[in-house]
């Protein structure tokens, strides 16, 4: 008796559901610093306006926070990033992974410090549009970093059996690696049946989705501090 063919299971890509910036536009060209966020209150306003847009979703998402053109005091940067990353780690917005985009080495170093000091799964990228060169900012072992890089080279999505075959390790060892990286927040997990095996997605392989949101308006000009003429904005960019 012939068996019916097994259905093809298509694995949806993780999406860049939100690409946000603190200025009205993002590009691959780093603009001069035209916005200074000096205090925790201003940073908290920017963070909470963004967080309101992160409605819980069943789909995995990658949040890219573009800091181009913005300068921070250390306390303001901490207030912007740390509570948001902690809420994401706690699952408050569903399955979300956070990427910080900056070309400022000092900002990048401080983000790494926060990630390692507070056990946060963050990525650092020099471009808000191309995440392939992004790097994990947290405290990972050499094996964990190699595993993430291998997944990217394999197209960004793997099962335990494929990782095991590529790395030359036992399937159980590959499963443990993937489960641990998912638990730590560095992978996005798509559950499937036992026969097919779960698929693990590396956030750097995420594809963009068109969305638009503008957050700050004239009443919010004080976000930039007294006397600064620049109006801060949060924007999600279409057609990336």
- Please write the tens of the pLDDT for every residue from 29-84: 555 666 788 899 989 988 888 888 777 777 778 888 888 888 889 999 999 999 99
Stated length of the chain: 240
Residue 215: burial class (beta carbons within 10 Å; 0-12, 13-18, 19+): buried
Q: Which fold has domain 140-205?
A: Arc Repressor Mutant, subunit A (1.10.10)
Pairing mode, strands 15-21 and 207-208 = parallel
Q: What is the pLDDT of residue 48?
A: 87
Average pLDDT in the 208-225 region?
Answer: 38
Q: What is the 3-state secondary structure (H, E, C) of 153-167?
A: HCCCEECHHHHHHHH
Residue 171 burial (CB count, 10 A): 15
Distance CA 48, CA 25 (A): 19
Topology given in CATH for the domain delimited by 13-131+206-240? Transcription Regulator spoIIAA (3.30.750)
Q: Name residue, tokens 């740390």.
A: 82
Chain segment 101-126, per-residue pLDDT in tens: 998 899 999 999 999 999 999 999 98
* pTM as predicted: 0.75
- Domain boundaries defined on the chain: 13-131+206-240, 140-205
- Mean pLDDT (the chain, rounded): 76
The span from the CA of 174 to the CA of 223, in Å, is: 47
Our CA dihedral for 127, 141, 177, 131, rounded to 10 degrees, sits at: 0
Helices 105-117, 74-89: inter-axial angle, 10-degree rounding: 50
**Can you list the alpha helix ranges (DSSP code H) found in the chain?**
40-51, 74-89, 105-117, 142-153, 160-167, 171-184
How high is the pLDDT of residue 229?
A: 25
Q: Give the tens place of pLDDT for each residue, 14-27.
A: 555 555 555 555 55
Rounded Cα–Cα distance for residues 81 and 101 (Å): 12
Q: Which two tokens stand for residue 129?
A: 């549009």
């Amino acid at each position: 008796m012939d068996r019916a063919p097994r259905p093809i299971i298509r694995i949806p890509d993780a999406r860049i559901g939100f690409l946000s910036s603190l200025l009205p536009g993002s590009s691959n060209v780093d603009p001069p610093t035209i916005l200074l966020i000096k205090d925790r209150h201003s940073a908290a306003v920017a963070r909470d306006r963004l967080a309101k847009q992160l409605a819980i979703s069943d789909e995995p998402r990658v949040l890219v926070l573009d800091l181009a053109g913005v300068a921070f005091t250390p306390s303001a940067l901490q207030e912007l990033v740390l509570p948001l990353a902690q809420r994401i780690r706690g699952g408050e917005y569903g399955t979300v992974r956070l990427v910080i985009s900056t070309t400022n080495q000092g900002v990048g170093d401080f983000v790494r410090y926060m990630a390692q000091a507070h056990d946060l799964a963050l990525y650092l990228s020099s471009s808000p549009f191309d995440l392939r060169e992004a790097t994990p900012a947290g405290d990972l072992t050499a094996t964990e970093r190699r595993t993430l890089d291998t997944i990217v080279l394999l197209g960004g999505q793997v099962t335990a059996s494929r990782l095991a075959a590529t790395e030359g390790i036992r399937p159980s060892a590959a499963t443990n690696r993937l489960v641990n990286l998912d638990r730590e927040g560095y992978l996005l997990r798509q559950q499937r049946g036992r026969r097919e095996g779960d698929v693990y997605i590396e956030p750097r392989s995420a594809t963009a989705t068109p969305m638009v949101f503008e957050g700050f308006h004239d009443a919010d000009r004080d976000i930039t501090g007294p006397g600064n003429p620049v109006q801060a904005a949060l924007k999600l960019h279409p057609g990336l």
